[in-house]
Structure 1
Amino acid sequence: MLSPTEPASARKPIPHVDFELDDLDSDEERYLDFYRKVAVHADMLVPLAEHHNGPHSYYVLFDRTATWGHPGMAQVLAVHLQRDSEKQTFSFEWAPLPLPAMAQSWLIHRGCSPDAISLDPQLGPPPADEATRALERRLVGDGDQYAMGHSYTSDDPDDMVIVVVLRARDEQAPSPFRVVVEEVDTERWTRTLREGGFDTAGEALQWCNDRLTGEAGPLPPVRLAATAARPAGAAKAPAPHPPGRSR
């Protein structure tokens, strides 16, 4: 999460995002659609990660205008561009998501190499501990196993927090609803990421509401499946794309 409260010592020059569409003569409707959904605030989009592979470009973008939008709205955009140089056209998919790790997962499941979409470590607060790094890796790698049901982003300097409710696609999964919470320590300029498990969507949403009002108790632990965990590197069955928007 980036913020105007970021300490000066942690800042670096903000890079510019270039979608490289100037040479494409696509139809006006598609250009307008891309402009309205993505490029309207191009000068306020910060590329946290990007990768270009032939006609494909993948972006994890922080939208600095979101802080002035609807309260709680997600501040990260995942964008996948496909260019056709012969036809001089392009197509795109996009999704607003609350966490960069979720945007990385969304792009990976649209063909981006997992090793090519790492976040710029100089943008935003670094992970505070190994638990945060481990959970982020799981969100990036196994994000297709969950569907996002709710999120709220608060960039209040006194309590910078993002809460996300995820639903397991496997209806038999223990703790079928997960709450993921990112908190930013503005004094140390670090972030922590934690998760909890819930039996119902109502319980998960209530915990999120309580957290945003400062009344939440500890996150309940995630119940693990009784079967052995899938070995690292083992193939997974194809899963449907996480929810997103496309054009």
Structure 2
Amino acid sequence: MNDGFDFDFDLDELAPADDASAEAVERFWSGDLTAVTKHHIAPDRSRGYVVAHDRTAVWGAPGAPQVMAIAVARDLQQFTFTLETSHHATVPFAQNWLVERGCPPAKIAQIAKGYLDPADDLTLQVEQQIRESGTRYEVLDTYTSDSGPCETWTLTRDSQADQVPVRLFLEEWDHDAGTYTVREGAFADVDAARSWLEDRDGPLPEPPEYRYDDGAVLRARTRAALARSAGTSAIPKTGPAAPTPVAVPVQRPVQGRLL
């Protein structure tokens, strides 16, 4: 599902509206991208949104995010366009970035065929939560590993959490089964989350809001409203398309900067 340079944005007769868009075009090479999901605003296609798998990420720094979000706005009166791109560790965070730029959540939720499928309803629930969260989560760090283990995680700070505000979203891939899971973990601070990532000495701590007062698990809250077609990992079912880097140990913050 690769649609060429502009992913069908029809930019041939238009000029970049600003320096940032011109620079983005210079960096943009769709031959290395495969569209995972996309949406165009009808009827004049004045805006377009794409989530894509960036196959070049495996050649970059170890752990680099492999999902790109692309937003294009076309001004047909001025014959100009703006182009924005942003890298993310997982599809839901890329979708969230696009939703914040005007894309309807339901329109960008439908995923192309050929990618890993969500393994369970909880995965769908957590993905929907991220996709529709607005500016709730401040992303602190991400890491993607294509081998040993096959996973990606996003470390965030939850502005709505009264307790354990540092939230870790862990996506794990099972290529043999053709599925993946997404889980949310809750920690008091960044150091606690990083310690868990390094040691994996117990299950991922669930957020306190996952439970009712009587101890019943909250997971079933939205299952009836979710459709399985609404989620798919950006990782192809056949695995990475290029040689994969060796995962390096998770690094702790240095001089207050998250690495």
Q: TM-score, normalised by structure 2?
A: 0.73
Helix, strand or coil: the match of 1:159?
coil
Aligned to 1:70: 61
Q: Are 1:50 and 2:38 an aligned pair?
A: yes
Aligned to 1:235: none
Aligned to 2:131: 140
Aligned to 1:22: 12
Shift of 1:216: 4.1
- Correspondence list, 1:1-247, <5 A: 14-16=1-3, 17-26=7-16, 29=19, 32-37=22-27, 39=28, 41-53=29-41, 54-156=45-147, 158-170=148-160, 173-210=162-199, 215-224=200-209
CA distance in 2, matches of 1:209, 1:163: 12
Shift of 1:89: 1.0
Unaligned runs of 5+ in 1: 1-13, 233-247
CA distance in 2, matches of 1:72, 1:51: 28
CA distance in 1, matches of 2:81, 2:139: 28
Shift of 1:193: 0.8
Shift of 1:115: 1.7
Helix, strand or coil: the match of 1:20?
coil
Helix, strand or coil: the match of 1:65?
helix
CA distance in 1, matches of 2:18, 2:143: 34
Superposed CA deviations along residues 193-233 of structure 1, whole A, max 9, x for unmatched, are 111100001111222233xxxx442111212299999x99x
CA distance in 2, matches of 1:203, 1:109: 30
Give the counterpart letter for 2:172 in structure 1: E
| Aligned Cα root-mean-square deviation (Å) | 2.6
Report if the CA contact (8 A) 1:102-1:143 is conserved. Answer: no
Shift of 1:138: 1.0
CA distance in 2, matches of 1:162, 1:35: 28
Shift of 1:88: 1.2
Report if the CA contact (8 A) 1:167-1:176 is conserved. Answer: yes
Superposed CA deviations along residues 106-160 of structure 1, whole A, max 9, x for unmatched, are 111211111211232413100011111111111112252111101100112x421
CA separation of 1:191 and 1:85: change in aligned 2, threshold 3 A: same
Give the counterpart letter for 1:194 in structure 2: R
Give the counterpart letter for 2:198 in structure 1: N
Helix, strand or coil: the match of 1:93?
strand
CA separation of 1:113 and 1:50: change in aligned 2, threshold 3 A: same
CA separation of 1:131 and 1:90: change in aligned 2, threshold 3 A: same
Give the total of aligned pairs: 210
Give the counterpart letter for 2:181 in structure 1: T
CA separation of 1:20 and 1:201: change in aligned 2, threshold 3 A: same
CA distance in 2, matches of 1:36, 1:64: 18
CA separation of 1:136 and 1:31: change in aligned 2, threshold 3 A: closer
